[in-house]
Chain A
């Protein structure tokens, strides 16, 4: 039950009981569904959110990177007439702000005429002087803006803030829509909700239209996986069909921007950027930025690239501009400002300063220029002494401060454990510059406060909601995902693969394979260690030794016992502090997989998330239970490698992923084969069985040789048999083949891998001599033995340097971070 609270506007029911009429469709369908069914549906949706890896990274959260986004199933409803008011207000505002920016970075008439106080620019660190005098972008500085709205107790919407650099949230809004419309399909259908898809289609068209060339390449510039909204960057990149690029993926040559791909440099014409203004170019903007592209500003000056929104657009994010907007609207548009800003006083004006100092308890004091970093001060709660202090602080440099009226935010129900609770909300809306007009996204991102607080912020851990704009006319049901009645343009050309993404895919393959080898090895060891006799135990130690782990916990000063091995296995499975453990490798799969999320199918992304959880063990777990955990983990890993083969088009991305896997498996296989062929005596006979099992080749072996274990036959299966996808020669042949298909591959590396393959193929296993059980002839020392040892040795030596060459050829420039010198 919603408690009536007459000091705020209740979006749902004015008296807390009787819903506003436009909620009826949603309420009826919620009643039809019933609380139990809603709970069931929501549980499913939440699982999907987790599995899809929808995240909002909160910097201070212990879960840190990749915290699932908290969503609420109940949408905010906006009736048609109210939306028309909002729409008219935000489009007018976007137009006005765009004109303002054009003047600020152009003639600065408004400052000269005194329409904008000069201090608002000159004291504003977001006023980027290197961007002045750039020929104005064809459609102005703004491409897409975000406007934060709040509703006051009288029912009017007010603007709280303008996001003019690179507004976040459109991707979350889209994701929320997908989830909520799925949970409440009946309500969504009945309520005649305006759709979002055509807005995004227009967005994509507008973006590509920013370049004046025939086949423009547009990228989405992201600060990278550690940014709090990285999920959104990869989601949007995929949805809008843009290449996701970090600053180090781009380079400027001859005043043009290029994307570093595995195929070489590719020209970039449009950059949709999610990097803040001043971080975009370490040459001319912040010298300490690692997120930007050196020379970008100069490329902009040369007119060779369009950055959306234009660099420097952040200058009008200051709330200090708000008091001047009504006058500017009259002057520049000849209209009244349609949507008011929350009452704001910029202390740089004498009368505003006086008013603020006399009314501190009615306002929130904030830094005028957000870059300066200062927490808002709520005047109402201050003691006389504190007021004195903040007053002095303001008076020392008044133009650095704004004061705003504290808005009593409206409330909307959120759903929690079957009950509804009122929560304060802020609605972020979006406006797109189409070149021939401004269009508002029919919806938005609603953020609600956690508990009863008035502070609404994703960074502080609030929840988000979908916003449904109810419509009184027909709604456009176009869908970007399932285009209908539209001629499909077939595109077979390989999409750009940035070097960094290739690097990550390569390592995704390596970590996935490494995880699989370790999991198989662990399963083989764990199921045996407790019932192994002396001979078998020695072989288990040798099998474990194949890992060559420098992080092993086995004692070095005394012979290791079965108990030691057990402890080591547990550590190898779940020790997060050791980099070679299964848990650490799966964490890497998750990390690397997350950073190339936009290149994986959603099923694969889900697996990556599930994998990270799959090897989780509990302290009280019985030793025998570990193998069940490993089975689960191996199933997921097999599913992943299956999708790798079946669900990815054979572009260069797949080549690098597969190279990584083959390379890792080859390295692991060589180590085991060397162990097997060096001194295989009577005592070590069980090792044959273990290695077969760890290489998942027991079945292959048995189907051919029934149950007799013959070293030469085992070697044939594990090394020479190129029809066995676990054999060494299979890996080598595939490495050679994959490498040959890489763009601009160095011939020397191709020769090296072909040479190694020829060497291995030339080995004559028949010549090998091994002792038979019961015989006392020692193994080794025959010609065959030393030849195979030499060959395996040289392959083992080759592989790491061969892998390094791949890195040097394809990934190197993605890794060198720029250094600022001088200055």
Chain B
């Protein structure tokens, strides 16, 4: 499957911004079955300096600075991504989840070490008893990790209501758990919190989801959106993605941008500006099969 993705972000400032430093996580990662064929980042006004590097988690990052006074900033990322067929190889029989939690601290294989760091608290996700309690219904004793993981994904899908007005980017997972509402970012944070509270490594994944127009209607440009889901570590197999917002296993319809401990590690665009004061953001994503 090949996709062309156009991701537009527009900042509108009340007062002109004199200097803006920005970080963008808008380049799709390349890994296993998932290849970024081409990518370009168009920024207006034109940036004074652009640099790129891979971050600690291996995500491509772009830094740019705008030094002319501006009241509007447009960032347009254009990417082409190829996803090979049937990438998610879920094991037939996975280990009981407790074994994973117990073996990991002593696992010094490169994969094990890499996975282990996703067990701990991160700036936006603090594991705790309340998450463990919610998760425990799915993670019954000795249940295979994969089975429990899918069960938890399904429960979050059923128990929580998608409500774009209930939360914002700073809403904490505790609050989401209490009010049972939120958007994809909240559900992903919540599920990561649940898994980590049980001692299981879990990542936050930022990306895109292909959407389908209602039958008989044309696909609307820009109607797609940034999306977020979860990846959990299964020793011997690797990382397994689940999407609690849609209760499915991401495959051909999910394009991955980056992953990290939580949203804060991989938020698509952020920055530090001088001036500006209040601002509005508009985001439009257009994801089209090629």
Which A residues lie at the B interface, using CB under 8 A? Answer: 111-114, 117-119, 121-123, 125, 129-130, 132-133, 251-255, 282-284, 287, 294-295, 298, 301-302, 396, 813, 816-823
A819-B273, A819-B274, A820-B271 known; 18 new pairs, CB 8 Å cut-off, are: A119-B105, A122-B116, A122-B117, A129-B57, A132-B56, A253-B49, A255-B51, A283-B23, A283-B63, A283-B270, A294-B21, A294-B272, A298-B63, A819-B272, A821-B270, A821-B272, A821-B281, A822-B268
**Nearest-CB distance from B158 to chain A (Å)?**
29
Q: Which residues of B contact A133 (CB under 8 A)?
A: 56
- Tell me the nearest residue of chain B to A350, going by C-beta: B105
Per the bound structure, the CA–CA distance linking A431 and B18 in Å amounts to 42
Interface size band for B: 35 or more
Q: When each residue 153-171 of chain B gets 1 if its CB lies under 8 Å from chain A and 0 otherwise, what string results?
A: 0000000000000000100
The chain A residue sitting closest to B264, CB to CB, is: A823
Digitize B15-29: 1 where CB-to-A-CB distance is under 8 Å, 0 elsewhere: 000110111000000
CB contacts under 8 Å to A, within B50-69, are: 51, 53, 55-57, 63, 65, 67
Q: Is B113 an interface residue (CB 8 A)?
A: yes
From B11, B21, B120, B267, give the contact of A283 (CB < 8 A).
B21
Which residues of B are found within 8 Å of A816, using beta-carbon distances?
Answer: 18, 274-275
The yes or no answer to B269 lying at the interface (CB within 8 A) is: yes
A822–B276 alpha-carbon span in the complex (Å): 13
Which of A123, A396, A818 contacts B272, CB < 8 Å? A818
How far does the alpha carbon of A820 sit from the alpha carbon of B276 in the complex, in Å? 10
- Report A289 CB to chain B, min CB distance, Å: 10
Q: How far is the CB of A760 from chain B (nearest CB, A)?
A: 37
A-B contact count (CB 8 A): 101
Find the B residue at minimum CB distance from A133.
B56
Q: Which residues of B contact A823 (CB under 8 A)?
A: 169, 263-264, 267, 270
Known A118-B113, A129-B56, A298-B63; contact A112-B271, beta-carbon cutoff 8 A: no
- The 9 A-B pairs with the shortest beta carbon distances in the complex, nearest first, are A822-B270, A823-B270, A129-B56, A122-B117, A294-B272, A823-B267, A123-B120, A818-B272, A816-B274
* Complex Cα–Cα for A133 and B48 (A): 25
Q: A130-B55, A302-B51 are in contact. Are A821 and B65 (CB under 8 A)?
A: no
B108 lies within 8 A of chain A by Cβ:
yes
Q: Which of B67, B117, B121, B276 contacts A821 (CB 8 A)?
A: B276
Name the residue of chain A whose CB is nearest to the CB of B260.
A129
Whether B18 pairs with A283 at a CB distance below 8 angstroms is: no
Chain B contact residues, majority secondary structure:
mixed
Once the chains are docked, how many angstroms separate the CA of A111 from the CA of B113?
9
**A-chain residues with CB within 8 Å of residue B276 when the two chains form the complex:** 819, 821
CA distance A27 to B23 in the complex (A): 63
Most chain A beta-carbon neighbours within 10 Å: one of B49, B274, B277, B281? B274
- Say yes or no for B119: interface residue by CB 8 A criterion: yes
Contact B272 A283 (CB under 8 A): yes
In the complex, chain A residues whose CB is within 8 Å of the CB of B179: none
Q: Of the candidates B11, B18, B120, which one forms a contact with A119 in the assembled complex, judged by CB atoms under 8 Å apart?
A: B120
Write out the residue numbers on chain A whose beta carbons fall within 8 Å of the beta carbon of B22: 822
Contact, CB under 8 Å: B273 / A821:
yes
**Cβ-based interface call for B279 (8 A):** yes
Question: Given the complex, which residues of A lie within 8 Å of B267, measured CB to CB?
Answer: 822-823
> Contacts A123-B121, A255-B49 known; A822 to B269 CB distance under 8 Å?
yes
Which of A112, A255, A294 has its CB near the most chain B CB atoms (within 10 A)?
Answer: A294
| Shortest distance between the CB of B40 and any CB in chain A (Å) | 20
Shortest beta-carbon distance from B57 to chain A in Å: 8
Contacts of A130 in B (CB 8 A): 55-56
Give the residues in chain A near B105, CB-CB below 8 Å: 117-119
Q: List 24 A-B contacts (CB under 8 A).
A: A112-B108, A119-B116, A119-B120, A123-B120, A125-B123, A129-B57, A282-B272, A283-B23, A287-B270, A295-B63, A298-B63, A813-B274, A816-B18, A816-B274, A816-B275, A818-B272, A818-B273, A819-B273, A821-B11, A821-B281, A822-B267, A822-B269, A822-B270, A823-B270
Chain B residue at minimum C-beta to C-beta distance from A815: B274
Smallest CB–CB gap between B212 and chain A, Å? 29
Contact B21 A295 (CB under 8 A): yes
Q: Quick one: closest B residue to A127, CB to CB?
A: B117
Minimal Cβ-Cβ distance residue in A for B67: A253
Docked CA distance A111–B108 (Å) = 8
Task: Flag if A129 contacts B55 (CB, 8 Å).
Answer: yes
- Nearest residue in B to A400 (C-beta to C-beta)? B121
- The answer on a CB contact under 8 Å between B271 and A821 is yes
Query: With a CB–CB cut-off of 8 A, which chain A residues contact B279?
Result: 821
Q: Is B270 within 8 A of A112, CB to CB?
A: no
List residues 64-86 of chain B with CB under 8 A from any CB of chain A.
65, 67
Residues on A with beta carbons closer than 8 Å to the beta carbon of B169: 823
Whether A818 touches B274, Cβ cut-off 8 Å, given contacts A123-B120, A133-B56, A251-B19, is: yes
Residues from chain A with Cβ under 8 Å of B116 in the complex: 118-119, 122
Q: How far is the CA of A287 from the CA of B117 in the complex (A)?
A: 22
Q: Report how far A287 CA is from B116 CA in the complex, Å.
A: 26
Bound CA span A424–B271, Å: 48
Tell me how far the C-beta of A265 lies from the nearest C-beta in chain B, rounded to whole angstroms. Answer: 12
For B119, list chain A residues within 8 Å (CB).
122
- Which residues of the partner chain A approach B263 to less than 8 Å between Cβ atoms? 823
Chain B residue contacts of A122, Cβ below 8 A? 116-117, 119-120
With CB as the reference atom, state the residue of chain B lying closest to A121.
B117
Q: Which residues in A have their C-beta under 8 angstroms from that of B21?
A: 252, 283, 294-295
Cβ contacts under 8 Å, B271 to chain A: 283, 820-822
Which of chain B's residues have a CB closer than 8 A to the CB of A253?
A: 48-49, 65, 67
Max chain A Cβ within 10 angstroms of own Cβ: one of B53, B119, B120, B265: B120
Residues from chain B with a CB closer than 8 A to the CB of A283 are: 21, 23, 63, 270-272
Asked if A254 meets B49 with Cβ closer than 8 Å, knowing A118-B116, A282-B272, A283-B23, the reply is yes
Chain B residues near A117 (CB, 8 Å)?
Answer: 105
Residues of A within 8 A of B277 (CB): 819
CA of A284 to CA of B105, assembled, Å: 28
Q: How far is the CA of A132 from the CA of B65 in the complex (A)?
A: 22
Partner pick for B65 among A111, A282, A295, CB 8 A cutoff = A295
Within the assembled complex, what's the spacing in Å between the Cα atoms of A287 and B124?
Answer: 13
B240-281 contact mask (Cβ, 8 Å, vs A): 1 or 0 = 000000000000000000000001110111111111110101
Q: Which residues of B sit under 8 angstroms from A302, Cβ to Cβ?
A: 51
Name A820's contact: one of B55, B65, B272 (CB within 8 Å).
B272
Chain A residue with the shortest CB-CB distance to B24 = A822
Are B272 and A301 in contact, with the CB atoms below 8 A? Answer: no
Complex formed: what's the CA distance from A820 to B57 in Å?
22
A114 engages B108 (CB within 8 Å): yes
Task: Tell me which residues across on chain B come within 8 A of A819, comparing CB atoms.
Answer: 272-274, 276-277
Complex interface: chain B residues within 8 A of A119 (CB): 105, 116, 120
Assess whether A301 is in contact with B53, with CB atoms less than 8 Å apart: yes
Q: How many whole Å from B185's CB to the nearest CB in chain A?
A: 12
Q: Which residues of A contact B117 (CB under 8 A)?
A: 118, 121-122
> Contacts A119-B105, A255-B49: A822 and B56 contacting too (C-beta < 8 A)?
no
In the bound complex, CA of A302 to CA of B281 (Å): 31
Q: Please, how many angstroms separate the alpha-carbon atoms of A821 and B13 in the complex?
A: 11
Residues of A near B123 (CB, < 8 A) are 125
- When distances are taken between beta carbons in the complex, the residues of chain A under 8 Å from B65 are 252-254, 295
Q: Which of B1-51 contact A (CB under 8 A)?
A: 11, 18-19, 21-23, 48-49, 51
- Name the interface residues of B93-134: CB closer than 8 Å to any CB of A: 105, 108, 110, 113, 116-117, 119-121, 123, 129
How far is the CB of B206 from the nearest CB of chain A, in Å?
A: 12
Whether the Cβ atoms of B113 and A822 lie closer than 8 Å is no
**Distance from A787 Cβ to chain B, minimum over Cβ atoms (Å):** 42
Given A283-B272, A294-B272; A254-B55 close (CB under 8 Å): no
Q: CA separation between A301 and B55, bound complex, in Å? A: 11
Closest to A298 in B: B63
Q: Which residues of A contact B281 (CB under 8 A)?
A: 821-822
In the assembled complex, how far is the CB of residue B41 from the closest CB belonging to chain A, in whole angstroms?
Answer: 15
A254 near B48 (CB under 8 angstroms)?
Answer: yes
Q: How far is the CA of A287 from the CA of B120 in the complex (A)?
A: 21
| B121–A298 CB distance below 8 A | no
